[in-house]
């Protein structure tokens, strides 16, 4: 069971209003290992993104085999969104940093329906944004085993995600759970009546996405 000492305070992430994310485009990339816990975390992130005003059509979900692949996927997804934006010159560009060039991208398959909730069947009258992603949420679950594999993957993934966000200048929300057992993961994914950390990650993405837009204009408010 997750200790109350490690749950967010009532004022945590209070800056994200219900309309904050209306002009944001957010990506979620998740690992397929420990898919039940990952699915719950992805659902929590989507829930808070929608509650914060991000439109359904502006949430892009992709999956990769494991957590080790998350940094590369984040890098390639953002690069792909930049190329998409440059191919749509009439669309708005959200930040000066989005004009940076990048290398060629690799193909990323669409996610299996196991982790992302079904798309809204009703068609939106508003076309999805073609801007580079405002923020990317990387989600994975690592459970410690009998070997050093856990430590190597956790360390490499953590450093990789930090490097990607600093190199690209886009917020990468750290959604990697590093667990001693599955019980800890079920609690943090909200599967046993506890708080779902994925909801926090969605709100973080919105807050940082909005602040990034403001900072790119040379402002602080």
Catalytic residue chosen out of the listed positions 149, 159, 195, 197? 149
Q: Looking at residue 91, what DSSP letter applies?
A: S
66, 98 contact by CB (below 8 A): no
Question: 130: how many CB neighbours lie within 10 A of its CB?
Answer: 18
The reply to whether 149 belongs to the active site is yes
Q: Which residues are catalytic?
A: 149
């Amino acid at each position: 069971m997750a200790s109350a000492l490690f749950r967010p305070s009532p004022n945590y992430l209070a800056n994200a209003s219900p309309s904050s994310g209306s002009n944001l485009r957010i990506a979620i990339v998740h690992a397929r290992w420990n898919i039940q816990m990952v699915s719950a975390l992805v659902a929590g992130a989507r829930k808070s993104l929608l509650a914060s005003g991000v439109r359904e059509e502006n949430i892009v979900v992709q999956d990769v085999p494991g957590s080790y692949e998350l940094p590369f996927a984040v890098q390639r997804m953002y690069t792909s969104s930049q190329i998409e934006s440059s191919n749509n010159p009439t669309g708005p560009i959200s930040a000066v940093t989005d004009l940076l060039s990048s290398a060629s991208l690799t193909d990323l398959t669409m996610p299996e329906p196991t982790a992302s909730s079904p798309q809204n069947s009703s068609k939106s009258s508003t076309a999805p944004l073609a801007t580079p992603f405002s923020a990317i949420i990387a989600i994975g679950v690592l459970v410690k085993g009998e070997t050093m594999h856990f430590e190597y993957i956790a360390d490499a993934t953590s450093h990789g995600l930090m490097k990607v966000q600093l190199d690209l200048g886009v917020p990468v929300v750290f959604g990697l759970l590093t667990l001693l057992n599955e019980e800890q993961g079920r609690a943090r994914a909200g599967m046993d009546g506890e708080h779902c950390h994925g909801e926090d990650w969605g709100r973080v993405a919105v807050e940082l996405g909005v602040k990034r837009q403001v900072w790119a204009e040379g402002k602080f408010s």
